[in-house]
Structures are given as C-alpha cells and as structure tokens.
C-alpha cells in the first residue's frame, strides 16, 4: 500500500532534511582548527538554513486544498512519521552515529572523510528533491525546487573541489 503525500507534507520532509543538513555541517565544523575549513562548513550550514526558509515560505503559500490530508490521521501522527522519514533519508542521525572520526586521524585525513561523507549526503538530497519535484504541480514551486537542486549540486561541486585540492 502506498502513501500519497500532499504538498504540505512534502515541504515538512524537506524542512527536516534542511535542519538535519545544517546540524551536520555545524557539527563537522567543530572538527577543525583551520579557520577556512571551519568557515566552509559553517557557510554550508547557513545555506541549508536558507533552504529551510524557502520551504517554509512555499508551505505558507499552499491553499487549503493542497493541505488536505491524503489519509485519515485524527491524531496528526503523519508529521512525526514524516520527520522520521526525513531523518532516515538524508543527513540522517543513524548515518551520523556510524560516521566515526577516530582520534588518531590527522586533520587532512579527517577532512577527506568528512568531504566524502558530505558529498554522499548532498547527492542523497539531490535524489530526494528530484523525486519530490515530481510530486508537486508547477504552481506549487517546481521552479523553486529546481533552484534548491542546483544549490545542492553546487555544494557537491564545492566539496568535490575541496577534496581534490587536498595534498596527496
């Protein structure tokens, strides 16, 4: 049995993913003494904060019809379900628990591991948003989703360039 999300619920998932992403990048920034690397991760966190604001704004513009539940949910448990879904999809807590940086790693080795992890998470967000875009009609902001996808792709490119510029 499938579950059809309404636009309101899709934005709920997206908001949670952006919160998780911002938190991930802030936590990764704490691993570095290098000011430029710390700032890179803090900048990425700020970009995720901006994406969250875009989704909040898009959600506010929804009509009552677009907010109608697609399933009977008298206890409003779908919001909890959606947050859990977001936590399992992109920048999820379980992946963070499994992402361990051993103390003995050099700063360069830490950077490599974090860049790889961040690139993978950004790719997951792109795939999620491509799927999300298919659920939304044009008047509900498909073009805004395209803009966020482009920004996530830019994050991937930026992280990839940083990874490639690390000394061998």
Please report whether residue 73 resides in a domain: yes
- Averaged confidence pLDDT in the chain: 79
The model's pLDDT over 103-148, given as tens digits with 9 standing for 90+, comes to 888 888 888 888 898 898 889 888 888 887 776 667 766 777 788 8
Q: Return the pLDDT at 45.
A: 94
Number of domains, the chain:
1
Q: Which domain does 146 fall in, by range?
A: 7-165
What are the Cα distances from residue 36, in Å, to 39, 40, 89, 103, 138? 5, 6, 29, 21, 39
Please report whether residue 62 resides in a domain: yes
Mean pLDDT of the 33-47 span: 90
Please report whether residue 1 resides in a domain: no
Backbone phi and psi for residue 18, each to the nearest 5 degrees, phi listed first: -65, -40
Band of residue 46 on the pLDDT scale cut at 50, 70, 90: very high
Please report whether residue 88 resides in a domain: yes
Please report whether residue 2 resides in a domain: no
Mean pLDDT of the 148-157 span: 88
Contacts of 21 (CB under 8 A, 6+ apart): 44, 45, 48, 51, 90, 91, 121, 125
CATH number for 73: 1.20.1260.10
Q: Per-residue pLDDT for 1 more than 50?
A: no
* Tokens standing for residue 74: 């008298």
**What pTM was computed for the model?**
0.74
């Amino acid at each position: 049995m499938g579950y059809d999300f309404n636009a309101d619920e899709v934005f709920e998932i997206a908001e949670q993913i952006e919160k998780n992403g911002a938190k991930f990048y802030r936590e990764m920034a704490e691993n570095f003494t290098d000011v430029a690397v710390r700032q890179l991760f803090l900048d990425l966190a700020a970009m995720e904060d901006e994406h969250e604001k875009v989704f909040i704004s898009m959600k506010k513009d929804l009509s009552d019809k677009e907010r109608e539940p697609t399933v009977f949910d008298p206890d409003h448990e779908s919001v909890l379900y959606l947050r859990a879904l977001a936590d399992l999809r992109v920048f999820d807590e379980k992946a963070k628990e499994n992402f361990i940086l051993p103390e003995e790693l050099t700063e360069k080795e830490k950077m490599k591991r974090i860049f790889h992890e961040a690139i993978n998470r950004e790719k997951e967000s792109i795939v999620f948003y491509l799927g999300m875009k298919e659920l939304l009609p044009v008047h509900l902001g498909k073009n805004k989703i395209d803009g966020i996808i482009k920004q996530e792709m830019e994050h991937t490119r930026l992280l990839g360039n940083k990874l490639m510029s690390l000394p061998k």
